[in-house]
């Protein structure tokens, strides 16, 4: 395949911030069609990009011959129907996280994509942070030995402002769990492997945001036991006052094992802290150049804000997987695994008990 045509479905915040510039980096790849159910958002995206093939109906867009792949960046409740329509039309799919509203729905999406023999990818963007990539590499190659603990902590201050569809259960499925912790569940899978069972707790601190009813949790925590006997503690909050928002607020991940420790902070995407057996202090190391960009990415890692530019590499991965006819990393398998933990977390919170992972 020489030229790859992409349709952007959902032209809101993350489509503009991550996927449009990401696709712009990819050779012989172009966004050829736009879709947003909101005509104003669609019109603005069309004017700004000069792309005139635009519709408020995703069925019209996935059926186009010049569209080979779609990027789905809509609210969570509509990911599954769009993915299913796209794969039935034979299009490759990159879907935002959380990919579905339930584990079963994510499995239906995975099976449909496999059956249609199209590439499928979950936008677990933070796997593409150079420091996370290097951390996963070091863990895989034995730097921490047998993993004992993984710990993640995401703290942001979103105050009392409206978070739109994110505060409505039927549109989002869950609150902080799907919004922020889903990425950190994926960190844990990437670094340690599959979970055996978990106990979780969620809390909604704000009943209203900007005067509108907020139905979903602002805080979530999971205590996990992994199949390999490691333990995990994962926490995420939208109401950590004074912590700020986005890439410069707290996103911490640490793994401790029999041979060493690795510590990651998103705000320092090109650094990792390493602790060695019998060492007295953590040492800070720079992520080696080969880990600063994703394989196949034409990006110069010294150009632009490193807290922003790594996000573009996930679109490069999607396109490279299509060109090379190989599975995407991370795929819907990873999206569905995170979803199984999310379902278990909601059940655990509801029934106040440990839950086995499906």
What are 348's two structure tokens? 């655990």
Among 19, 68, 92, 97, binds ligand NAD (CB under 6 A): 97
Is 339 near ligand NAD (CB under 6 A)?
no
DSSP 8-state class, residue 157: B
Closest CA to 105 of 329, 327, 334, 336: 336
DSSP 8-state class, residue 226: E
Of the listed pieces 33-41, 86-94, 194-202, 206-214, which binds ligand NAD according to CB under 6 A? 33-41
Q: How many other CB atoms are found less than 10 A from the CB of residue 62?
A: 25
Of the listed pieces 4-12, 147-155, 288-296, 339-347, which binds ligand NAD according to CB under 6 A? 4-12
Task: Return the number of the residue (287 or 338) whose C-beta is nearest ligand NAD.
Answer: 338
Among 3, 38, 146, 258, binds ligand NAD (CB under 6 A): 38
- We find the least distance from the C-beta atom of residue 142 to ligand NAD, in angstroms, to be 30
Give yes or no for a contact between 286 and 271, defined as CB atoms under 8 angstroms apart.
yes
Of 266-305, binders to ligand NAD (CB under 6 A) are none
Of the listed pieces 3-11, 26-34, 133-141, 288-296, which binds ligand NAD according to CB under 6 A? 3-11
Give yes or no for a contact between 204 and 214, defined as CB atoms under 8 angstroms apart.
yes
**Beta strand 54-55 pairing with 29-35:** parallel
Among 51, 78, 274, 333, binds ligand NAD (CB under 6 A): 78
Rg (CA), the chain: 20
**Separation CA 139–CA 200 (nearest Å):** 26
What are 326's two structure tokens? 């190989």
Give yes or no for a contact between 204 and 216, defined as CB atoms under 8 angstroms apart.
yes
Task: Return the number of the residue (74 or 261) whose C-beta is nearest ligand NAD.
Answer: 74
Q: Following DSSP, what letter does each residue of 122-134 receive, concatenated? A: E--GGGGSHHHHH
What are 255's two structure tokens? 């793994």
Of 115-154, binders to ligand NAD (CB under 6 A) are 123, 125
Counting residues that bind ligand NAD (by CB under 6 A) gives 24
- We find the least distance from the C-beta atom of residue 27 to ligand NAD, in angstroms, to be 23
Of the listed pieces 67-75, 154-162, 287-295, 321-329, which binds ligand NAD according to CB under 6 A? 67-75
Side by side, the strands of the sheet bearing 231-237 are: 283-286, 271-276, 260-265, 250-257, 147-155, 231-237, 219-226, 195-203, 355-356
Task: Return the number of the residue (59 or 350) whose C-beta is nearest ligand NAD.
Answer: 59
Is 75 near ligand NAD (CB under 6 A)?
yes
**Region for residue 254 given its phi and psi (left: phi exceeds 0; alpha: psi -120 to 50; beta: otherwise):** beta
- We find the least distance from the C-beta atom of residue 66 to ligand NAD, in angstroms, to be 19
Task: Return the number of the residue (14 or 346) whose C-beta is nearest ligand NAD.
Answer: 14
At residue 344, the 3 state secondary structure works out as helix
Is 10 near ligand NAD (CB under 6 A)?
yes
- We find the least distance from the C-beta atom of residue 71 to ligand NAD, in angstroms, to be 10
Site string for ligand NAD, 169-188 (x = CB under 6 A): ----------x---------
Interacting residues toward ligand NAD by CB under 6 A: 9-15, 35-38, 41, 58, 73-76, 78, 96-97, 123, 125, 164, 179
């Amino acid at each position: 395949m020489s030229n790859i045509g992409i349709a952007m479905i959902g032209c809101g915040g993350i489509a503009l911030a991550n996927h449009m510039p990401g696709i712009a980096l990819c050779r012989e790849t172009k966004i050829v069609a736009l879709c947003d159910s909101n005509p104003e958002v669609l019109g603005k995206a069309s004017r700004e990009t000069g792309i005139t093939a635009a519709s408020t109906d995703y069925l019209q867009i996935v059926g186009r011959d010049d569209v080979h792949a779609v990027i789905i960046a809509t609210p969570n409740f509509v990911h599954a129907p769009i993915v299913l329509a796209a794969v039935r039309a034979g299009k490759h799919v990159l879907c935002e996280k959380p990919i579905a509203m339930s584990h079963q729905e994510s499995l239906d999406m995975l099976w449909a994509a496999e059956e249609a023999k199209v590439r499928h990818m979950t936008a677990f963007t933070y796997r593409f942070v150079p420091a996370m990539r290097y951390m996963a590499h070091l863990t895989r190659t034995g730097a921490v030995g047998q993993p004992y603990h993984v710990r993640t902590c995401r703290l942001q201050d979103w105050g009392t402002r409206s978070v739109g569809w994110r505060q409505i259960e039927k549109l989002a499925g869950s609150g902080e769990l799907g919004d922020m912790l889903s990425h950190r569940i994926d960190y844990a899978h990437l670094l340690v492997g599959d979970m055996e069972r978990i106990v979780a707790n969620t809390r909604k601190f704000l009943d209203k945001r900007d005067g509108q009813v907020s139905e979903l949790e602002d805080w979530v925590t999971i205590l996990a036991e992994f199949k390999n006997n490691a333990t995990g503690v994962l926490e995420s909050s939208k109401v950590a006052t004074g912590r700020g928002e986005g890439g410069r607020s707290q996103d911490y991940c640490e793994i401790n094992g029999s041979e060493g420790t690795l510590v990651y902070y998103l705000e320092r995407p090109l650094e990792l802290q390493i602790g060695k057996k019998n060492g007295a202090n953590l040492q800070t190391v720079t992520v080696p150049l080969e880990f600063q960009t994703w394989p196949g990415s034409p990006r110069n890692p010294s150009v632009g804000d490193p807290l922003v530019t790594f996000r573009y590499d996930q679109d490069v991965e999607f396109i490279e997987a299509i060109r090379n006819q190989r599975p995407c990393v991370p795929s819907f398998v990873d999206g569905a695994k995170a979803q199984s933990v999310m379902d278990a977390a909601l059940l655990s919170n509801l029934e106040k008990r440990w839950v086995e992972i499906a």
